[in-house]
Chains A and B, each alone.
Chain A
């Protein structure tokens, strides 16, 4: 696409989003796919994904034969940017769109692609992920959910945790242990595209610190799934899981696109500081609050500068992997600090919670409580610091 075509396409997308952006519902929407907690929220977001897909703005670069758009990737990227810029709701089937979908397109059979891809895009089939386990939060390689072959089925026992959208999902990307033999813990793992409809699979919603439901613990009790839903060969689960994580982290392309969470920008916090009042005047006029705000702005801008410098190899320095390996730590901690600060801008009203009386319906209070999913999920901040200390600085293991 040339510059003109790109800018023309961008304005088409923008116009469509402005015309079709759903009106704000009477209830508070979640801010990420991991926070979908009520049927009302789920149905609203699923309808929105359908609308986006039917307009041709999702899976634009996926093959037409499976329901994609067969267009250049750059078009989807433009759509993604515009969706963020126009502050439209996110599309909920993230695990299907951006993790499972590209994985299936990459290494699934023709039958897999026919069966799964289109329904991922249309939100007909919701996908969830079964990686973490209650006793192995940060240690995926040690997964203990068992999968025992019996004829043309595998029998699954054990439990997975933090299953986002577990109550709504039709399929799960599941990592399970098919063997305890082998040279190491990784060799006994296998990867499945497991139907959640099988008997003996019970996703049980977990009530979060926010008081909402947002994900499940999924129990498997002699659940029988077809043997042909294994992706890759038996014992290759770890490498398939690593490939999935590459898609999850956006390290390789191929995602269907769409917004998976509402972006929180430091400018939103500055804007809130102008609107919110502390002790009878705009929070931004209070010198101590201003100083805290400057600190946060500096942290946000510093993170952006780090990303920019990391793209210049000559400026890599002594520890060239430090910036990339700390991205999750820095962004999740910043989000926690920003949302915590957002609550503090409200004076006594900082004590309110989700209700009409609260500023922005209590969105900031809820965001702060939810921000711990970032600082805990995917390896806690403390684990991240161990990893950075050991793998980047070369310090001895703890």
Chain B
């Protein structure tokens, strides 16, 4: 009899990762202790911009336990490539040399000017105080518009400008949006680009439109705040000249390459291991200066060197996310149909370029049109240097910014036209499709059914009742007003097709590798080039392999995070792992089955075409009793005593999978907020998210990704924001002042999903890692503005803190009272920093 095979894909299997994590047996990088290991501490600049006029480390060397103290000048020949940037988005991009230890000038608070190596971390920290430095402080530039003004101090004098790059959507015929006066009617022509491009004539659209929405949105800087700070242990590998670098990283394979480019150590002499990694969110998608320094010193001193950042270093020296000023113009007819969109962005690089810094805004450029189908689109982006911590990828990386702009503008359009915000969206949605369809920027969306997610979200929210309640509260003058905010979004996942990535200035290399091998006992090892740090790949990849091979997930072990164990890989970021890495596992496992068929045919003395495979069993068509299990086949393949002529032993198949297209999950979110108009405090009463990420491998994990993503999106909207003072000091330098939300600050989520498979891969999967972070910020802000719109309030910047909301209400009521000025100076004046209890 044939038993239907159990399907593991689609089931909420509890995670295989958990046992070590809940029992305290995880292997964090900071756990690693190696014989002779020394500890590294960084001397960091207290100034945002200053010349170093004197630097003397000799005092540190005199302290007991100190093994070495180094300046940048002493080690300069060890890092010919500096801290590398892998993104070139314009021919004229200004890319400064980023020295791991500076030699002449510090360019942001937290910049490194000397290091100490000592026997333990307490000693290393103490010794920093014995280093003598004289600074000549210089005026810093701490915001982008000031940085671009005539005569602004220069972050990098060699460029003669603070402009890092200008990117103009790669289309001919678009006037220079930046240099044109605000009210200029811009002309634009052009064609659809391969991935990013402008099209049509936005100037003509603006002239023809019944209404043009012109708004400025600020994407504040945020701190990724993985709860595990960054950590690295660099160890000269015994036996040969190489280096092993254990790093709390998302990207061991990328690090191996860029570490070689930075230091000149041949790539083959580098092994990078990512032990258990305590969250990344993009912040561990980088080769950091501290890693280069640790490697260089481990080689120089011939002994392992460890560096672990503390939280204040994490906030000063690990990349920041976001940091954009968005000027947007949306043209529409009175029926709500969009005619055109144009976008001017300033994107804050910070003081240096990290691995992907210039590419973040550019990679989101083609998503500004969102889920709407219209004709005319143009975008320009300027990258700007400031004397602040470098920015780079933070969960969503370019897409949340784009989504926020279009989704806020859609609400403004609805308000302008006195139209329901759901309706104005509907009128511009793409009709459902399941074959690639170009968006206004030329991006090929893979499959959509936007109407279905919006309908479902409206149903779950009980939208009509909410509007009725809102009306009641408005009429009764309730101090707590109700707001309903929409966001319908899409995002780019599955990074990515190598050619397309190259087009974005990222060089390429968007494939992913998997090796699936069956051991002699019939157990399975899956080696994956993805590098999970909370996403549960061990579980999900086991489900995929188990279903393809007809085994159980417990039979499968997933190996990752070590460039020796998994030689090829492109790691984990950009919601790429399932749609690229998971598909690689799927293909490799299928190759195992295909080879198994040949062996089974040989064993059963049948022809290969007659072999059927189901539920882990190869059988002869029409004679189900003639069968062998895949475990039997694996054993036979391994022992190789009787294989078909010329067949290579062992079931051991690899796949390097380069996807044909990105994937585009989409969804509809509704945020229901209660705004206390007396205090400005916003409470989220409900949050409904209907997402479509294609078929789901593990619904428990997918829901978890959504929860976490929503939390981070809500956090950006309501709580988090980096504050610098005008001297460039980081005011939000610890978790005391930087508002990551806790359990009491967040709501429960109401989730549902629809399933629209992607045509781009055989499982139809799309990816889900960033959906919540992308969808949530505009939904939250839209809900607050919706609550307050009877007062005439049209926008509130993020984070919508109680003070901001209160002030918006005050201003709307004409009680300005000079408080605005107080606020303006406040954000640049520094907080009184409180400690302890």
**A, B in one complex:** no
- A: residues with CB less than 8 A from B are none
Residues of B participating in the A interface, judged by any CB pair closer than 8 Å: none
